[in-house]
């Protein structure tokens, strides 16, 4: 019995790390949706592009320095974030602004098209072979009782917590954060009050690209492989956003962690004791999502919208 508890505890911690990445990707979905009411289905591909860009920086810096160091990974992170800022601004200029007053369906189709284009471009530039990302922590682990936790997982969880704190402070304590909240509530009223809505939308796309890039940087060494299929993992974060309540930042975080734990535990202990679970591992998060939505259609933290007639 104690062995099962230890296994589940270890898998739960690993699930929290994976769920933290899902939460960050889901946060990118939520940011754009709150400001523009558009679901960006290219969020997973933004994560993939960020991971490839970071891999390029890391390998170039290591080849110049001769050996890896934490400073190299830190400088590569800064370079990747700068790229994400520029990339997010370009996406706002190319997709959001030209389609601003068009039907939502048109914008959604544009993001789906963008995801396909990004996968094709990355495959042409990087080649069809999978790459082996380098972890800044190697194989270092810590042991607590019978539980073994990798330093990478600890770093992922800590990074997610830090980012959530930064976003909370930005959205609730800064002028631009409050402007984003006002724009998401009523863009027309916000514009009448003097808020530069176009700049707010651009900033939302930039933040979304930054979150996606950081998610890709954290996920790549955990997967131990880097290829264009990484973008499809963004679809796993989509149910996390819906589970928490689409448009709720707190819900995206909680939903991501819940699904991360469920996925990890089902692939480990539950699959070992119940073989039939192996057959539904790929769809178990969707089963959980449907079950929750049957009880709470707006998600765990979603707020039901009342339309006045």
pLDDT tens column, 213-227: 999 998 888 887 788
Tokens of 290: 């449907």
CA distance 248 to 255: 10
What are the residue boundaries of the structural domains of the chain, listed by start?
22-227
Tokens of 102: 């068009």
How high is the pLDDT of residue 177? Answer: 81
How high is the pLDDT of residue 188? Answer: 79
User: 190-211, pLDDT tens digit by residue?
Assistant: 887 888 888 888 888 998 899 9
Tokens of 224: 């131990």
Largest interatomic CA distance in the chain: 68
Q: How many C-beta atoms lie closer than 10 Å to residue 293's C-beta?
A: 16
How high is the pLDDT of residue 201? Answer: 85
User: 234-271, pLDDT tens digit by residue?
Assistant: 777 888 888 877 767 778 888 888 888 888 887 776 66
pTM of the predicted model as reported, rounded to 2 decimal places: 0.87
pLDDT of residue 69 exceeding 60: yes
pLDDT of residue 151 exceeding 60: yes
Q: What are phi and psi of 232, to 5 degrees?
A: -65, -20
**Which whole number is the average pLDDT over 97-118?**
84
SS3 147: strand
Judged on CB neighbours under 10 Å (0-12, 13-18, 19+), 194 is exposed
- Ranges 49-53, 92-96, 117-121: which has the least confidence: 92-96
Q: What's the full length of the chain, in residues?
A: 309
How high is the pLDDT of residue 307? Answer: 45
How high is the pLDDT of residue 55? Answer: 92
SS3 119: helix
pLDDT of residue 79 exceeding 90: yes
pLDDT of residue 31 exceeding 90: no
Tokens of 190: 């916000």
How high is the pLDDT of residue 46? Answer: 92
Residues of the chain above pLDDT 70, percent? 92
């Amino acid at each position: 019995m104690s062995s099962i508890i230890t296994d589940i505890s270890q898998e739960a911690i690993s699930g929290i790390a994976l769920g933290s990445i899902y939460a960050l990707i889901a946060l990118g979905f939520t940011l754009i949706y709150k400001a523009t009411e558009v679901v960006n289905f290219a969020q997973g591909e933004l994560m993939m592009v960020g991971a490839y860009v970071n891999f390029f920086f890391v390998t170039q810096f290591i080849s110049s320095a001769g050996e890896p160091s934490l400073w190299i990974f830190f400088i590569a992170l800064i370079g990747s974030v700068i790229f994400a800022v520029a990339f997010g601004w370009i996406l706002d200029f190319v997709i959001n602004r030209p389609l601003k007053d068009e039907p939502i369906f048109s914008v959604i189709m544009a993001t789906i098209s963008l995801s396909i284009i990004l996968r094709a471009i990355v495959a042409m530039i990087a080649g069809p072979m999978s790459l082996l990302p380098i972890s800044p922590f190697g194989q270092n682990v810590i042991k607590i009782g019978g539980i073994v936790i990798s330093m990478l997982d600890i770093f992922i969880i800590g990074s997610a917590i830090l980012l959530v704190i930064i976003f909370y402070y930005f959205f609730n304590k800064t002028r631009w954060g409050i402007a984003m909240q006002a724009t998401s509530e009523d863009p027309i009223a916000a514009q009448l009050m003097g808020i530069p809505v176009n700049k707010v939308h651009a900033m939302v796309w930039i933040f979304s690209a930054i979150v996606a890039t950081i998610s890709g940087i954290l996920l790549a060494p955990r997967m131990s492989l880097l290829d264009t299929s990484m973008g499809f993992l963004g679809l796993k974060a989509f149910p996390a956003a819906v589970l928490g309540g689409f448009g709720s930042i707190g819900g995206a975080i909680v939903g991501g962690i819940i699904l991360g734990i469920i996925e990890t535990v089902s692939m480990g202990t539950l699959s070992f004791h119940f073989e039939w679970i192996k057959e539904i591992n790929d769809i178990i998060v969707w089963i959980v999502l449907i079950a929750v939505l049957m009880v709470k259609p707006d998600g765990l933290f979603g707020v039901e919208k009342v339309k006045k007639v």
